[in-house]
Chain A
Amino acid sequence: MKKSDKQQKYKEVAYYPGCALEGSGHAYNRSTKALGEKLGLKLKEVDNWNCCGAMEVKNIDPKIQTYLSSRVMSTAANKMNMDVVMAPCNGCYHNLKKAEYDLENDEKSREVVDRLSKKAGHDTYQAGQVETIHALDWVKDSIGEEGLKERVKNSLEGIKIANYYGCMYTRPRHIFPEKDAGPGSESTSKPHFMDDLLEAAGADNVEFPLKTACCGGAHTLSDSDTSTKLVTNILRAAEAAGAEVIATECPTCHSGLEMHQIRAEKTLGIKTNVKIIYFTQLLGMALGLKPKKVGLHENVSDSFDFVKKKGLA
């Protein structure tokens, strides 16, 4: 697809917030909506959406997860007549992409989804009806770096940021056919879309080796000690790279980093000071939105004094 086509196509998208954005990740929901409004991008929330299955339902049975995700896409395509679904949560984004891949390539998945959809009484989702994108694709392709530069009011200049993408945004590779597709496309080994956007807003991105490391999000409660160790690695690596902020683009990663930053302090005695802020919050503030407008008060990691010091409030 040509760049100008995408620019037009992403001006109005079906918005799939997902469960986390209604609960622990509400700051991400608030800041994504505020950012869309500020940029003149329209979000139409998927009617009556359901959970995509997250990291859990696939362990009961992967095909139920495929069905759950397909129902969301079916609603967007068949009831709302939309051709793009934008999911800011890595988990939702990943599951919708996985369902798309399975429905295109696996006969058994098609059979199960068709059977369940008919029983549930809605149209079966057919692969190719919608394009699922992440909030990063949404901003990058509709506004882009140049568009952002023109709109920046409070530059992020002087803020050292480690961009953290987590697992579900890039792995496994086969469900993201548009990635690793030459110049301009996203990389699965060294993702850079968030780096590009924040740099356009003036940020000093640091060289961060753990961009796609795992935070242990799937076992954040059931195996907390492992998660705490994994998160501590990420926080320390970010600080060692000179970062003051870790920018996130996934509610599970974000709350995992916040929660285990505290847990590491309380159980291992390891204290880190790096702030954890959603990239939509950073971009929003760069475009002149007030911290509360992007839900900074809903983060556990308290960065009010920090953003004030950096001239963003």
Chain B
Amino acid sequence: MAVAAVPTATPVGGDIPRGFTWAVRDCWTEASRHLRALPRNPEVLAFSTIQPVMFVLLFAYVFGGAINVPGYDDYLQFLLPGIFAQTVVFGSTFAAVGLAEDTTRGIADRLRSLPMFGPAVLIGRTFADLIRNVFTFVVMLVVAFLIGFRFEGSLAGALAASLLLLGFAYAFTWVNALLGVSVGSVEAANSASFIWIFPLTFVSSAFVDPRSMPSWLEPIARNNPFTIATNAVRALYNGRPPGADLWLAVAWAVGITVVFAVLASRRFTASTR
């Protein structure tokens, strides 16, 4: 492409701030958009509190008496860490729906036309989702305690388990962020996120011991990263050694976060649509 003279800019306004501080500020500005809106959206709040409570009670009382798991006298101690894990991973789907909404309503276009740090839109979103998930998790933990769940190990172990849960859910928020910026509609985002989250969380050790599954399904369930995370969390809450599961789960969480954060950010900032 032959370029003759490039016209010179007429100076209007100042330079565009670049660098780490501004990127962080942009992330926070975007996160605060969602955090500020959170208490105003009764449906989201209801979903974030009622559903987890319902899950805990339903699973505990419906399955509680019927299932025996080797190694656990009390099924609740086995089951509830699985429900915690499933609920926070379900909570990660908000990102897909929210980002699809931003895209279809033209908000994404507006943001992409601003002189801001582009990935801040996604980082802010995932951070706000993390905060909401913390809230959900605390509510769920309180209900679990009310029906008899206890930390059998150290408090530090329980804290580590809780952090692992939230970190693991955060990683999946990025998978959903990629879905949200890729699909064309809110409905599609909703089904696209649940279509893999259901098998991911059920073909796992969350509710039953994988050894009770058909032989072709068992290895899948056993190697499912969700199983690995659930096992690590369950061991920590019950004061048992998590073994390699702990580090494997952390590695999965970090790996998924890095890969999907890069993919989603690229997709969002690319000038291709």
The judgment on whether A and B are partners is no
Interface, chain B (partner A; CB < 8 A): none
List the interface of chain A (C-beta within 8 A of B). Answer: none
